[in-house]
Amino acid sequence: MSFRRRIDMSRFFLPRHTRDQLLTNPPPLEESELPPAAVRFHPPFSKTCNGSIDFMLLAGAGRGWGGDDDKVIATDQTGRTVMYHAGSDSIRTLCNLTASKLAPVAFTAGGNINNLYILDNAFNPSRSRDHCFDALVYGDGDNGGGATWHVPRLALPPSAAAAVRAHPRSRIWVSKDSLGTHAFDVAAGVWSKAGDWALPFCGRAHHVEELGLWIGLNCEYGEESAVVAADLAAAAPPTRAIGVRWWEFPPLGWIVGSSHLVHLGSDRFCHARFFETRGRCGEGYRRKFVVFAGIEVVRRGDELFVIKHRSERYDIEYRLFQRVL
């Protein structure tokens, strides 16, 4: 079972005139409780496993049912998909993906917020790569009958990706250290090589138009929770922005799990990190929790700074799936 909970991040951000104070003295971590679950999802069971389910966000999609509110796409281990619309508290079945995805990264591109591109970010040599790249597209399909959701056939990426970014206009970039960076032209439907260099991000990066930069989590081993920025405008090795390499050392005894960076619009982000604490000898892990922090990336002169606003810690069930959208 998976629970979907919605947290209002606007209350995490303090007035902008407090930025100078926040740079040197951010607020202390607060204890809080997760809001009640908005909806529950159950994956299908099989003879070989208990089933799995993953989630992707289609943010602010205006067409394709439900108005302008955010929608959550859920997909299970069989590739079946449903859409949850928070505004009307309702669910709609969609068409199947070509195959299930182990670690899907989803994004919009090409200026159409109704088209959701899905790339499997996990490489498993035992699985075929024939279905690692999909799209859920709202429009006229091949069979006629008016606008609906369908899955078109897409050209395959050159390899599993370690970093992904979607250009707001027309391109999706994927990157891996050993194979360089490749770009997918949304309009033409073809891949091309951008260079032998790799993007400096782990997972998805976000474009901040006000800064002219891309913001994401660091790709270097041991610092995957760090927030970094880079200029990717030119078709050359990306240049890291001066001043941005931000992260917080966790307290003693906190074991870092996964980290997530969610773009909230403009220069604001939610920095989410999952932690565990060890029990006594032989007891295993005794506590699991997540920390949400509201952060801003701001420019001052030629340098960038990350300003941390309020942060909250929530206890969670040990077996809950970890995904922040």
Distance CA 49, CA 78 (A): 12
pLDDT-derived band at 86, boundaries 50, 70, 90: confident
Q: Is the pLDDT of residue 58 over 60?
A: yes
pLDDT-derived band at 66, boundaries 50, 70, 90: very low
Residue of 270, 320, 313 whose CA lies nearest to 290 = 313
Which is more confident, 230 or 147? 230
Q: Are 44 and 52 in contact (CB under 8 A)?
A: no
Please give the share of the chain, as a percent, with pLDDT higher than 70: 75
Distance CA 297, CA 301 (A): 13
pLDDT-derived band at 178, boundaries 50, 70, 90: confident
pLDDT tens track for 269-298 = 999 999 888 766 656 557 889 999 999 999
Q: Is the pLDDT of residue 246 over 70?
A: no
Please name every residue paired with 150 in a beta bridge, in sequence order, or none if there are none. Answer: 137
The mean pLDDT value for 71-83 works out to 85
pLDDT at 250: 80
pLDDT-derived band at 1, boundaries 50, 70, 90: very low
- Which of 59-73, 87-101, 311-325 shows the lowest per-residue confidence on average (mean pLDDT)? 59-73
The β-bridge relationship of strands 30-32 and 303-315 is parallel
Which is more confident, 125 or 118? 118
pLDDT at 318: 65
pLDDT at 186: 84
Distance CA 198, CA 175 (A): 5
Using alpha carbons only, give the angle 94, 99, 104 rounded to the nearest 5 degrees.
Answer: 85
Please name every residue paired with 135 in a beta bridge, in sequence order, or none if there are none. Answer: 117
Most confident of 37-51, 74-88, 177-191, 301-315: 301-315
Q: Are 244 and 304 in contact (CB under 8 A)?
A: yes
What HEC string does the chain produce?
CEEECCCCHHHHCCCHHHHHHHHHCCCCCEEECCCCCCEEECCCCCCCCCCCEEEEEECCCCCCCCCCCCEEEEEECCCCEEEEECCCCEEEECCCCCCCCCCEEEEEECCEEEEEEEEECCCCCCCCCCCCEEEEEEEECCCCCCEEEECCCCCCCCCCCCEEEECCCCEEEEEECCCEEEEEECCCCEEEEEECCCCCEEEEEEEECCCCEEEEEECCCCCCCCEEEEECCCCCCCEEEEEEEECCCCCCCEEEEEEEEEEEECCEEEEEEEEEEECCCCCCEEEEEEEEEEEEEEEECCEEEEEEEEEEEEECCCCCCCCCC
pLDDT-derived band at 323, boundaries 50, 70, 90: confident
pLDDT tens track for 184-241 = 888 888 888 888 888 888 888 888 888 888 899 887 766 777 888 888 776 567 766 5
Contacts of 15 (CB under 8 A, 6+ apart): none
